[in-house]
């Protein structure tokens, strides 16, 4: 029996392409390229996806990126990812990918982006899902290489890169290090977004806004620790890309019911729900909406509003947002009344 969380039309704006690779596909890629993993069978790879802490997660993520070597790989994982998005009734996705890892491997970024775009175009034709790409700088690579990454991203942006982001260990590699890269992207007319307020506190969110000029905040749930920051986020309606299961699995919150999402909503923050790295955290966007319904007690109308928020917070042109919101409304109203009440 289909649930409201499944039937609800959805958009997702915080999910990582590399982190969405299924264990079966990772094993296939590693075998193809002769890259050793800490496990040689599927059960072992699934166990490999279990993390000790945030820094261990980054180590695992880096190894996964090593298994992506050429455009064929990126076409494969993008197509698989978007089929899964379609199965969840996700009509629009903005996904991060980490070009720095692949530039370090000597890859042709333009060819990679073109392969991703080709897979996205196929998915839109065949499955009716739309997809955009956000180039995500890994903080651990440092300020100098971040600037190189940004220049390369801008060089190939017309092949299908929508925006620039930054992720990684925010406490150890603060926003100030990357000010030049983000100023360059903004001056070129590229929107920017930053992971912040996840593994570090409110100051990280303030710096993402003030130093980097971020238009959205990835995660951002630790903003709740600073009443002044919460008031600013509410007044400016800065979108937060909240990923409850991710925060739980990495150990940043003790349990779902200890997550500040309900308090952020009650304060009037602009919230979107997202899955982050779905197979790595044993979740997907349907599950995140189900958690919001069952744990946080959100009504069908509130869930629909969260889904629409992801469209509103997206980097789509305004005319596209209006059209997509109309589609969302029509699909929501077509859901059986007993699930919408």
The band of 1, judged by pLDDT with boundaries at 50, 70 and 90, is: very low
Angle between the N-to-C axes of helices 300-313 and 285-294, in degrees from 0 to 180, rounded to the nearest 10: 140
Q: Do you know the residue count of the chain?
A: 341
The pLDDT tens digits of the residues spanning 250-259 come to 899 999 999 9
What is the Cα–Cα distance from 40 to 232, expressed in whole angstroms? 49
User: For the domain that residue 212 is a member of, what is the CATH number?
Assistant: 3.20.20.140
Q: Are strands 239-242 and 130-138 parallel, antiparallel or unpaired?
A: unpaired
The pLDDT tens digits of the residues spanning 131-154 come to 999 999 999 999 999 999 999 999
Catalytic annotation present for 198: yes
The total number of structural domains in the chain stands at: 1
Judge whether 182 lies within some domain: yes
What is the Cα–Cα distance from 209 to 238, expressed in whole angstroms? 9
Judge whether 33 lies within some domain: yes
Question: Tokens 């238009």 map to which residue?
Answer: 215
What is the Cα–Cα distance from 311 to 250, expressed in whole angstroms? 27
pLDDT at res. 24: 93
Judge whether 93 lies within some domain: yes
The pLDDT tens digits of the residues spanning 190-211 come to 999 999 999 999 999 999 999 9
Judge whether 268 lies within some domain: yes
Is residue 104's pLDDT more than 70?
yes
Judge whether 116 lies within some domain: yes
- For residue 255, the enclosing domain spans 4-336
What is the Cα–Cα distance from 97 to 147, expressed in whole angstroms? 16
Residue spans of alpha helices (H) in the chain: 4-7, 23-33, 42-48, 54-66, 71-87, 99-104, 109-127, 142-156, 179-187, 202-210, 227-236, 244-250, 261-267, 285-294, 300-313, 318-333, 337-340
Judge whether 11 lies within some domain: yes
Neighbours of 197 (CB within 10 A): 27
Judge whether 119 lies within some domain: yes
Neighbours of 237 (CB within 10 A): 12
Question: What is the arrangement of strands in the sheet containing 10-16, beginning at the earlier edge strand?
Answer: 10-16, 90-97, 130-138, 161-167, 192-196, 216-219, 239-242, 270-273
The pLDDT tens digits of the residues spanning 249-308 come to 989 999 999 999 999 999 999 999 999 999 999 999 999 999 999 999 999 999 999 999
Q: Which of 94, 198, 203, 288 is catalytic?
A: 198
pLDDT at res. 52: 66
The band of 235, judged by pLDDT with boundaries at 50, 70 and 90, is: very high
What is the Cα–Cα distance from 196 to 2, expressed in whole angstroms? 35
Average pLDDT, the chain: 95
pLDDT at res. 47: 83
Average pLDDT, stretch 151-177? 96
Judge whether 321 lies within some domain: yes
Is residue 180's pLDDT more than 80?
yes
């Amino acid at each position: 029996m289909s649930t409201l969380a499944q039937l609800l039309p959805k958009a997702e704006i915080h999910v990582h392409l590399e982190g969405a690779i299924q264990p079966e596909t990772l094993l296939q890629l590693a075998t193809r390229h002769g890259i050793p993993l800490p496990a040689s069978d599927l059960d072992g790879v699934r166990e490999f996806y279990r993390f000790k802490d945030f820094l261990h997660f980054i180590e695992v993520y880096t190894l996964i990126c090593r298994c992506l070597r050429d455009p064929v790989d990126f076409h494969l994982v993008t197509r698989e990812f978007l089929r899964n998005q379609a199965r969840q009734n996700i009509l629009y996705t903005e996904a991060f990918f980490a070009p720095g890892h692949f530039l370090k491997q000597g890859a042709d970024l333009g060819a990679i982006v073109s392969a991703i775009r080709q897979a996205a175009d196929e998915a839109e034709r065949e499955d009716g899902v739309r997809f955009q790409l956000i180039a995500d700088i890994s903080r651990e690579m440092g300020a100098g290489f971040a600037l190189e990454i940004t220049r390369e991203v801008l060089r190939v942006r017309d092949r299908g890169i929508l925006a620039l982001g930054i992720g990684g260990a925010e406490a150890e590699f603060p926003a100030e290090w990357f000010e030049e890269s983000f100023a360059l992207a903004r001056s070129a007319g590229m929107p920017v977004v930053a992971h912040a307020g996840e593994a570090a506190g409110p100051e990280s969110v303030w710096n993402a806004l003030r130093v980097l000029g971020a238009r959205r905040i990835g995660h951002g749930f630790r903003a709740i620790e600073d009443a002044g920051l919460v008031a600013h986020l509410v007044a400016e309606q800065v979108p937060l890309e909240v990923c409850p299961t991710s925060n739980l699995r990495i150990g940043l919150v003790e349990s779902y019911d200890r997550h500040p999402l309900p308090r952020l909503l009650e304060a009037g923050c602009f919230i979107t729900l997202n899955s982050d790295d779905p197979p790595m955290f044993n979740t997907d966007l349907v599950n995140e909406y189900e958690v919001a319904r069952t744990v946080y007690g959100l009504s069908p109308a509130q869930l629909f509003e969260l889904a629409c928020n992801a469209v509103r917070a997206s980097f789509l042109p305004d005319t596209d947002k209006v059209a997509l919101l109309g589609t969302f409304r029509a699909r929501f109203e077509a859901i059986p009344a007993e699930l919408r009440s």
